[in-house]
Chains A and B, each alone.
Chain A
Amino acid sequence: MSALHPFSLLAIAAALPAFAWILPAPGGGLATATLALVLALVPDVRAGARVVRVAVLTAAPFWLFLLLLHDLPTTVAMGLRITTMVASFAWLVAALPPDRLVEAMVARGWSLTLAYLFAATLSAVPVLKARARRIVEAQRCRGLSPRGSVANRLRALRALALPLVLSALHEVDERALALETRGMGSGVHRTPLAAPPDRPLERAARWALLLLCLAAVIWRLA
């Protein structure tokens, strides 16, 4: 899976949610959600089991709210679609190293700033998780426990949220300065360091996915 061109990974991650919404529920959603979760378990995806757990845990609250607002068939139909979206994104984050995406985009002539925006979105989740872990450890050293009663956990959450947001905002400033000084705003076309190979078969497969999506839309509208 990691040998695939970044655009192919993006295409799969975009096609699965598209099919989930286009194909009739609940069968379509069930198939795409299952496929997205199974993709995460492909051996060379980093920490596949954890990706599945993150996807399921992230989708769970949506199921709960849907159940409160809708009947069971609607909940299942919408829930499976949302699960597909969440699982596809989680899989993409795990399977696609941001640097490969930047290299692929730059090699294709995209602007570095736009490529960075895409890649930064993918890398934001692990970065924020790592920072949150450090903040929790620091708060623990100062006697605040994130475990125990609901009140305790809420207190810990508040103590986590504020420094997390403030430090992220502070880092944005410094990172902007650092990127600028390292030539991000030079206006020159970046030299790709190791552009991932884009095989003709993969390009054809991406076009096929797009055509399949269009065909599915036409079929549903007919």
Chain B
Amino acid sequence: MRTLGLDDVTFWYPATANPALENITLDVGPGDIVALVGRGGAGASTLLLVAAGLAPRVTGGRLAGTVSRGARAGIVLPTPWTQLSGMAFTVWDEVAFGPANLGWPGHAITRHVDHALERLEIVPLASRDPATLSGGELQRVIIAGILAMDPDLVLLDEPTAELDPEGARAVWRLVRSLAGEGKAVLLATSDVDALPDVADRIVWLEQGSVRAMGEPSLLAEDALCEAGLGTTVADLWRAAALPAPYPLTVVDAVQRWR
């Protein structure tokens, strides 16, 4: 059973000859956490838009191949301030914007919104004006807004970009907990050091194509380190000319060192 299936998907943005994604095949099932890594422009954000059903429906362009979604998808885009509805003067209303648009009854909206605020640890912000929040607070509000819609497929584009280290750790814990509930998670991040503890699978994208796919140990392989996508520990090990295989995390390195 799969929540998201991409079969040989190629996507072109409007008025471009070269595809932004080329021959992508990927399955994400319930409880899976799949992380997309790659340099800027590799196609990770575009892949998330395709997975969300926004490309080409909203962005325009052309898609070849098959995208199958067995569930409702929710996507968190990288810049939180452009995702504000502009229609809410409190954080609570902002989080409730999506569920209300789905036409849910009032009591269901209240339940989901309160739960999402608790999960993101932003209950104290509930009555604040979203326009007065910091980038990190806003990012959590936006994530709460998506989770309040109870999607089965959660798509996250650089979810920790605006967050401090503790905020980032909280989001990664949340991602694991979402997967524990059976939600499928597909995310793009440059915080590769967090991935060994978070992701089940890594997809390395390069120029719109899948260059490699595998377990998180992929992030300690020579080719990824060469591309600047390895974990910090693996990079350091490699820079010190220590023998491969490189350790993936600090714990691995300590074990190897002993």
Partner of B77, one of A116, A119, A178: A178
Task: Tell me if B86 and A127 are in contact (CB < 8 A).
Answer: yes
> Is A71's CB within 8 Å of the partner chain B?
no
Asked whether A174 and B79 contact (CB < 8 A) given A123-B86, A180-B58, A190-B100, the answer is yes
Chain B residues lying within 8 Å of A16, measured Cβ to Cβ, are none
Type the 1/0 row for B105-145, where 1 means its CB is closer than 8 Å to any CB of A: 11001000000000000000000000000000000000001
Q: In the bound complex, do residue B109 and residue A193 qualify as a contact, i.e. CB atoms below 8 Å apart?
A: yes
B82 touches A178 (CB 8 A): yes
Number of contacts between A and B (CB, 8 Å)?
86
* Cβ-defined contact, B100 with A191, below 8 A: yes
A18 within 8 A of B: no
Of the stretches B88-96, B182-190, B227-235, B247-255, the one at the interface is B88-96
Q: A192–B101 Cα gap in the complex (Å)?
A: 9
A181 and B101 within 8 A (CB) = no
Q: Is the CB of A176 closer than 8 A to any CB of chain B?
A: yes
Q: Are A188 and B86 in contact (CB under 8 A)?
A: no
Contacts of A183 in B (CB 8 A): 97-102, 149
Flag the segment in A7-15, A52-60, A96-104 that touches B: A96-104
- B interface residues, tally (CB under 8 Å): 35
Given contacts A171-B82, A182-B149, contact A102 B58 (CB under 8 A): no
Give CA–CA (A213, B232) in the complex, Å: 72
Residue-wise interface mask of B (187-199) relative to A, using a CB-CB cutoff of 8 A (1 in contact, 0 not) = 0000000000000
Given the contacts A188-B102, A191-B100, A193-B109, A180 and B86 also touching, CB distance less than 8 Å: no
Is there contact, CB below 8 Å, between A181 and B109?
A: no
Can you name 7 extra interface pairs (CB under 8 A) apart from A127-B86, A181-B73, A193-B100?
A116-B87, A178-B84, A182-B83, A183-B97, A190-B103, A191-B103, A191-B106
> Can you report 16 A-B residue pairs in the complex whose CB atoms are below 8 A from each other?
A97-B89, A99-B87, A99-B93, A119-B86, A123-B87, A174-B77, A178-B82, A181-B77, A182-B83, A182-B85, A183-B101, A183-B149, A188-B101, A191-B103, A191-B105, A193-B100
Residues of chain B touching chain A, judged by Cβ–Cβ distance below 8 Å, are 49, 52, 54, 57-59, 73-75, 77, 79, 82-89, 93, 96-106, 109, 145-146, 149
